[in-house]
Structure 1
Amino acid sequence: MTALLEISHVAKRFNGVVALDGVSARVGRATITAVIGPNGSGKTSLLNVVTGFYEADRGSVRFNGTEIAGRPPHWIARLGLARTFQHIRLFEGFSVFDNVHVAAERRGTSHARRRAEQALEVVGLAAVGRQQADALPYGHKRRLEIARALATEPEILILDEPAAGMNATEKIELGELLFTIRDLGKTILLVEHDMDLVMGISDYVIALNFGCTLAAGAPAAVRQDPQVIEAYLGRPEAADA
């Protein structure tokens, strides 16, 4: 696997509480990599270190061969990393198009309009560009956040629980969208709790618990790992033992 992002021995503590304890991972170019684990396992802390919102106590994060650990979020974003968050953060008083156009201008005003239009086309919102963002259905708001991230023309798209709050149909549509984005040559790193979605779309899965890596590999292998089953997916029923 050709790694676009390399995380090596990353550790982070908060007042003595271990959030990350020597986590290492590789994210392949033009792949979908999912990070799973119970609440408090360090998933979002890992994303925060990668995107510069937390500074690691030790360890290395290299993107395209460049060390980014300890750099501020805006510096990392300019290199080609874009992120969405667990909680939707739209400019709800703006139109759908203007939400994306603002993001597109971060790459410069030249062709920003076209970048915004292309991003809306990818996520399937081109027809509602003039609508107010706050009038969109929930699932479309999630898509709009992804469009804003895409408009910055990132090499890697980092998504924190993109399926949170979605119904079953919206989750299926989200999976199809992520395949589309990957097939455009983008790399996706996501934290997600929905195991059906994770196992259905991921090329590679990293399982965390108590800030440590339990398992990493192909989805089927991780799903069958005894430590992952016990820590996150639940103990097998006695009848199945």
Structure 2
Amino acid sequence: MSSGTNQSHSSQPSPLVLESVAKHFGGITAVADVSLEVTTGEVVGVIGPNGSGKSTLFSLAAGGQKPDNGKVWLNGKDVTGLATWKIARAGISRTFQIPSLFDNMSVRENLLAAAVEGDWKGAPQRASDIMEMLEISHVVDNLASELSGGQQKLLEFGRVCMRDPKVILLDEVTAGVHPNIRRIILDAIRRLRDTGITFLIIEHDMEMVREICDRLIVMDQGRVVAEGSFEDIANDVEVQRAYLGRRK
């Protein structure tokens, strides 16, 4: 993998590069010297057992946590340790396992609120386009609190899109949703990928990652233990050990 430093001097730097990032909580190592690079328009899945460090890795990339060691590069710029809002302005946005919405605001208002710091003039049309893509136009005036769990995940995905990000991090975005909402999300990822948006996805749904991801990264105990295509990962002994039993 090219280092972040080299990427910063490239005419077309990779959208997201993590360089030997590490995070410790007391005596627990949540992420241990993880390096990864995601190229423009690539959809990369991050899988692994619960507690393997996936969500912490997302927080390090998005600024929710500051790495104890290592670097985070976004479009060739060193954003290590910057505030979350600064990293978001630089072009990275994420969803959470539990959607974080303005419950007492309508669907439209939630989307427009996400665009306050961006292109406000074009925001209403962009909101309409996103609602159409995510098939939530029929609940445009509903409060976020009135939506189903699946619709709330669609709305949070839409809020992320309103920020016009270069990199989108999706944390179990299809967990527990109706198959039709899962289809909407997959179609939206494909559509956005075709425009050059890059995705890093945490997901336990192996059928989804097989269907949508160009490449998989497997984490266990804070480390990357395997990387490759779905077929390579499915047959990897280290991955089987990670899911079926800890290494001795």
Q: Please, what TM-score do these two structures have when normalized by structure 2? A: 0.89
1:200 match:
211
Contact 2:134–2:185 at 8 Å: present in 1 too? no
Task: State the distance in 1 between where 2:151 and 2:88 align.
Answer: 24
Amino acid at match of 1:98: E
3-state DSSP of counterpart to 2:117: helix
Please say if 1:88 is aligned against 2:99: yes
Structure 1 residue runs of 5 or longer lacking an equivalent are 236-241
Please say if 1:110 is aligned against 2:121: yes
Please say if 1:122 is aligned against 2:121: no
The match for 2:236 among 190, 200, 225 is 225
Which segment drifts farther, 158-167 or 18-27?
A: 158-167
Amino acid at match of 1:199: R
Runs of 4+ in 1 over 6 A off after TM superposition: none
Task: State the distance in 1 between where 2:87 and 2:114 align.
Answer: 15
2:70 match:
59
Q: Per-residue deviation at 1:56?
A: 0.5
Contact 2:112–2:124 at 8 Å: present in 1 too? yes
Contact 1:104–1:116 at 8 Å: present in 2 too? no
Amino acid at match of 2:210: M
Render the CA deviation track for 1:3-55: whole Å, top value 9, x for unaligned. Answer: 32111111110001000111011112111111111011000000000011111
Q: How many residue pairs were aligned? A: 234
Task: State the distance in 2 between where 1:204 and 1:28 align.
Answer: 11
1:3 match:
14
Contact 2:46–2:201 at 8 Å: present in 1 too? yes
Please say if 1:138 is aligned against 2:137: no
Render the CA deviation track for 1:169-213: whole Å, top value 9, x for unaligned. Answer: 433332222222212321111111111111111011110000111
1:33 match:
44
1:77 match:
88
Q: Per-residue deviation at 1:108?
A: 4.3
The match for 1:12 among 23, 29, 42 is 23
Task: State the distance in 1 between where 2:28 and 2:112 align.
Answer: 40
1:175 match:
186
Amino acid at match of 1:55: K
% identity of equivalent residues: 34
Task: State the distance in 2 between where 1:110 and 1:171 align.
Answer: 31
3-state DSSP of counterpart to 1:104: coil
